[in-house]
Structure 1
Amino acid sequence: MMGKSPNILIILNDDMGYSDIGCYGGEVDTPNLDTLAEQGVRFTQFYNTARCSPSRASLLTGLHPHQTGIGILTDDDGPEGYAGNLNKQCVTIPEVLKGSNYSTFMSGKWHVANDFHHVSDTWPKQRGFDQFYGTIAGAGSYYDPKTLTRDNENIECEAQENDDFYYTDAISDNAVRFIQEHVSSGKEQPFFQYVAYTAPHWPLHAPKEVIDKYKGRFNSGWDKLREQRLERMIDMGIIEPHWKLSERDASQPLWEDAENKEWRQRCMEVYAAQIDRMDQGIGRIINVLKETNQLEDTIIIFLSDNGGCAEEIGPDWGPRLVKNSARAKTRSGEEVIFGDRPEYMPGPENTYQSYGIAWANVSNTPFKLYKHWVHEGGIATPLIVHWPKGIKAKGAIRHSPAQLTDIMATVLDVTGASYPESYKGNKILPLEGQSIVPFFEEDIEEERPLYWEHEGISAIRIGKWKLVKRYPGEWELYDMQSDRTEHHNVAYQYPKRVAKMIKKYDAWAKRCGVIPREKILKR
């Protein structure tokens, strides 16, 4: 490549549904993301891997998560399961880019190491980042997060000693700081920055002034809101008008029959506030890129790690959560109340709640199912790519299917960096993805297979055909051109196609080290 390679900024958020942000049809105010979309490209059929840790592993390495050692989460599922650590047969984007003279920074959630408390060769500094600020663990308090770390040093005290601390803000502020320091140092090399927000993953924690902004916005309830979202998405060109809205989750009542409406509305108001606050932070990052004359040649990639999360937190979750990443008490010594209990409004530090199934169903409009599953509601993510110097089709929408393994390939394409056959004496698995740079200018029809597996839940997509199953159920076949919302299972109409796709899926699963669910359950 000629001249200086572009800066790369990847922004990943946590447990956000396909249609929550404004430029994908949602009610949340996201002016900064909306502007990136207006001046860049939106993808309508980009896919994650349905769960946080596997998505992070795949994004960072360009491999399927099973190949990296993180097939489920960061637990050690041995002796016949996954190690829960990034292994040495994969290489991360910052490790590759350091070989091309990039500075590398990360701010936010790591969650691809199984030891949260002791420095290991799977922590960010050890996997290619020059500087790191964030948490090693997954979810936790936004006011007092466990495993808060700078480089390799625990700095939980910084949150505990600051009454104004809010983790989403801290992630944004440190991302800004890394850019400012890089530019002021006078270094000529480009930078790679990975900003991994925990928002809007539970617990529902947000500043009161942002929550108050959303008072009443969701009062019409989940049924009407899903219909209204769908209309906006069709108008935007995100969704085809002939795709039927998925049914409301059968476990959930009509909105008019729902109890505790004030509390339910508050849950969605806090969830929206979490996304809003993240967008504000993204705005500050964009501003520092402008102020330092970096924006024109910085590729910004925004996406979510899985679909909206339908997990409902029970009061009995407390001990397990505290053991891993939650706090039993607030910084002032007050007991934290665990569980989705309507007598306690979510938002403040002494609560630990989620927004539940019905609102997750709204987040994933128009699709069915959620995080964990590989039907569209679990794996479809918004993807925005903004690059003033490299994208001419401002505001374009692309419908070509692609997935997380393609992010590494895209970074290699635009930077000219080389993917290694070996790294630090270890043989590296071949790259699985392909660059999406050609899609910046036009949609391209292709028949390459896309694959998913999580806890036995499996899928393969080839062109317009998607074969998917909920473990331990039967395979279902859907035509994504006529029925992307997966209403009409046509598996019995196309038995030869199903058999052919199963054979291809089985070959992929064997090659990529997918461990049969039965083996893990029997351990």
Structure 2
Amino acid sequence: MKQALSFTALLLTCMLSLAQDKRPNIILVLVDDLGFSDIEPFGGLDVNTPNLTQLAAEGTRFQEFYNNSICAPTRASLLTGQYAHKAGIGYFNVNLGLPAYQGFLNKESLTLGEVLKNAGYSTILSGKWHVGDDRDQWPAQRGFERSFGFIGGAVNFYEINGENSPTVPLLRNNEPFYLPKGRYLTDEITDQAIAFLQDQDKENKPFFLYLAFNAPHWPLQAPEEDIQKYESVYQKGWDSLRTDRYRQAIAKGVFPAGQEIASRDTVIQAWNKLTYDEQQYWQRRQQVFAGMIDHVDQSIGKLRKALQTLKKDDNTVIIFLSDNGAQGGDRTRMYTQRNTETVGRAGSYEVQNSNWSQTGNSPLRSYKDNPYEGGIGAPFIVWYPKEVKANAIKKGTGHIIDIAPTLYDFAHAKYPKTLNDVQANPLSGISLREVLATDKNQADRGKPLFWERAGNRAVRHGKWKLVSLYKTGNKIELYDIDDDRAENNNVANQYPDVVKELEDLYQQWAKETGVVDYERIRPQRNSLR
């Protein structure tokens, strides 16, 4: 009898504990190929993003927040808290024959889904995966109890084939899902997430939602009503808008006053040298891109209304960021399929090119897949009124390896040394919670940040940033980011001791992380963007 009473008391204690679980829900919103100033809170006043503007006004923005410059490596670090090589995706989601370049997440790098599920959270994913193509590498096999989306790196936003041969290959909880014709994928990603949250509401525990939009990644496709909102907005062209966004970024406080804009990419043709027809063509391209961003913002508003209906809006952390800077490339660079429709509509396959992307990344230098600030610098917004400072702009100097420890901190989730008999890699980043919740202006990690992707390298240590590119024979460049975030002035020759220190630190990190000389693993064809 005593044993029965004891068991009943234990059961009641557990039920009471679950009922009192006041840990915050967490929503991690990742967008794809969004430039630094492509949204209003970071200087893009030409794009309508009222929901992100509200999150920024009620939350905290970082001036400096870094990614890995390209899709799959960024997602590997975001999901695991590891440098991409340590997680197995040092190059892309292709297997190049070495552990650091196997092209899918290794078991030792625990995902946000696995750790938070183990800590008592419901775990949900809706959107893009891109960190493992085979079934045993899918979201459901890596800790996500509910999942919807696509596995690869890019997909159409509209279905143009029949159900038997879909051009938008989707999965819902590991089962094939058909996107109805005329349905915009951003809407489906959003509505699936909301449906999962409504279903999860029956469970008496907090949730983690990883909402990974593929917009505004190519192909450039958006609902026509969103495209038409931007009629005539871009007639001033990329040169004028680039400098406008630079001034607006300073006015917003997300770019330091007194610093110069990045030098103009001289390969790009001047807007006023284009013919009238050329200007009309390029305006339409940017209208579509803006419409895609606009629609993501609408989706965030829709999600927040759903949270209010579920009465969970006051205890939810929302984080917003991009996986890399805007896409570079020239006008001849096309999606692998041929256009059968006007840009923006189903059947068109255009990509964002350097001309508008230089504006998207303004005031920063370069583009996606490069370790300059325009490639690795991203918008970063955190909203949680219970704790996170409102309308705050901080230097930050955060990195995607910091997201996992930050979320585990908010969730009071202990990162396990082993899980399912697998010894876990230690986390590489630090929690940003103190920076977000106090007057502290910058993360104090006490060690550098590192990048390597396809032979392109960078090190950030204090104010110094070392950069070397594969295409230049790894010529060393050095920048003082505190005075020159636009990376206009290479001071490597003036500070040889700093160059040597950062080179030594990089070599040590490369050895510890499994990075090898790019020539050793370089694919014969590099078209994976």
Contact 2:464/2:480 (<8 A) preserved:
yes
Q: Is the 8 A contact 2:219 2:335 kept in 1?
A: no
- C-alpha separation in 2, matches of 1:415 and 1:317: 41
Instruction: Classify the secondary structure of the residue corresponding to 1:400.
Output: strand
Shift of 1:261: 0.8
Mark the CA change 1:396 to 1:411 in structure 2 (over 3 Å): closer, same or farther.
same
- 1:429 Cα deviation (Å)? 1.0
Q: Is 1:153 aligned to 2:175, yes or no?
A: yes
Output the CA distance in 2 between the equivalents of 1:296 and 1:317.
Answer: 42
TM-score (norm 2): 0.90
Residue pair 2:454, 2:522 contacting (<8 A) in 1 also:
no
1:458 aligns with 2:457: yes
> C-alpha separation between the residues in 2 aligned to 1:274 and 1:492?
43
2:408 paired residue number: 412
User: Is 2:62 the partner of 1:62?
Assistant: no
Q: Identify the residue that residue 357 of structure 1 maps to in structure 2.
A: 354
Q: What is residue 494 of structure 2 aligned with on the other side?
A: 493
Alignment of 1:15 onto 2:30: no
* Structure 2 counterpart of 1:50: 69
1:374 aligns with 2:371: yes
Please tell me whether residue 226 in structure 1 is matched to residue 242 in structure 2. Answer: yes
| Partner amino acid, structure 2, of 1:240 | P
* Structure 2: distance between partners of 1:76 and 1:439: 38
Q: Which residue in 2 is equivalent to 1:83? A: 102
Map 1:96-245; keep pairs closer than 5 Å.
96-115=115-134, 119-120=135-136, 122-144=137-159, 145-155=167-177, 158-159=178-179, 162-183=180-201, 185=202, 187-245=203-261
State the 1:79 CA deviation. Answer: 5.7
Q: How far apart are residue 345 of structure 1 and its match?
A: 3.4
Q: Deviations over 1:346-390 (max 9, x none)?
A: 111121001211101000000111000010000000000001212
Q: 1:468: which partner in 2?
A: 467
Runs of 5+ unmatched residues, structure 1: 319-327, 329-335, 339-343
Counterpart of 1:31 in structure 2 is: 50
Displacement after TM superposition at 1:421 (Å) = 1.4
Query: Which is worse superposed, 2-11 or 218-227?
Result: 2-11
1:337 and 2:359 correspond: no
Deviations, residues 393-450 of structure 1 (Å, cap 9, x unaligned): 2110010211000000101111111111122122211100000011112214644311
1:286 aligns with 304
Give the letter aligned to residue 224 of structure 2. Answer: K
Structure 1 pair 444/249, CA: closer, same or farther in 2 (3 Å)?
closer
How far apart are 1:248 and its partner, in Å?
A: 2.1
1:317 offset after TM fit, Å?
5.2
* C-alpha spacing 1:425/1:58, structure 2 compared with 1 (3 Å): same
**Deviation string for 1:78-104 (max 9, x for gaps)?**
268711111111100110011111101
Give 4+ residue runs of structure 1 displaced > 4 Å after superposition: 312-317
Contact 1:6 1:415 in 2 (8 A): yes
- Equivalences for residues 241-280 of structure 1 within 5 A: 241-259=257-275, 260-280=278-298
Q: Bigger radius of gyration, 1 or 2?
A: 2
User: Please, which runs of 5 or more residues in structure 2 have no aligned partner?
Assistant: 1-16, 160-166, 525-529
Which residue of structure 1 lines up, in the alignment, with residue 7 of structure 2? none
CA distance in 2, matches of 1:17, 1:76: 28
SS at match of 2:479: strand
Secondary structure at the aligned position of 1:451 is classed as strand
Q: Structure 1 residues 315, 383: CA separation in 2 closer, same or farther (over 3 Å shift)? A: closer
Aligned partner letter, 1:154? P
Conserved? CA contact 1:125–1:131, under 8 Å = yes
Aligned partners of 1:263 and 1:345 also within 8 Å: no
Tell me the secondary structure at the aligned position of residue 401 of structure 1: strand
Query: 1: CA distance between counterparts of 2:85 and 2:54?
Result: 36
CA distance in 2, matches of 1:316, 1:195: 27
| Aligned-pair identity (%) | 40
Which amino acid in 2 is paired with 1:439? V
Amino acid at match of 2:220: L
Say if 1:293 and 1:483 are closer, same or farther in 2 by CA, change over 3 A: same
Counterpart Cα distance in 1 of 2:70 and 2:241? 25
Partners of 1:349 and 1:98 lie apart in 2 by: 38
Conserved? CA contact 1:52–1:306, under 8 Å: yes
Alpha carbons 1:77, 1:83 under 8 Å: kept: yes
1:284 alignment partner AA: K
1:126 and 1:42 map into 2 onto residues whose CA distance is: 33
Q: Is the 8 A contact 2:335 2:349 kept in 1?
A: no
* 3-state SS of 2:378 partner: strand
Paired residues of 2:87 and 2:100 also in contact (CA < 8 A): no
Question: 1:522: Cα distance to partner?
Answer: 7.3
2:24 paired with 1:6: yes
- Residue deviations 1:289-309, cap 9 Å, x none? 112111111100000000000
For residues 293 and 81 of structure 1, what CA distance do their matches in structure 2 show? 43
Q: Which residue of 1 aligns with 2:482?
A: 481
Q: Secondary structure at the match of 1:381?
A: coil
Q: CA deviation at 1:521?
A: 2.3
Give the match for residue 111 of structure 2. Answer: 92
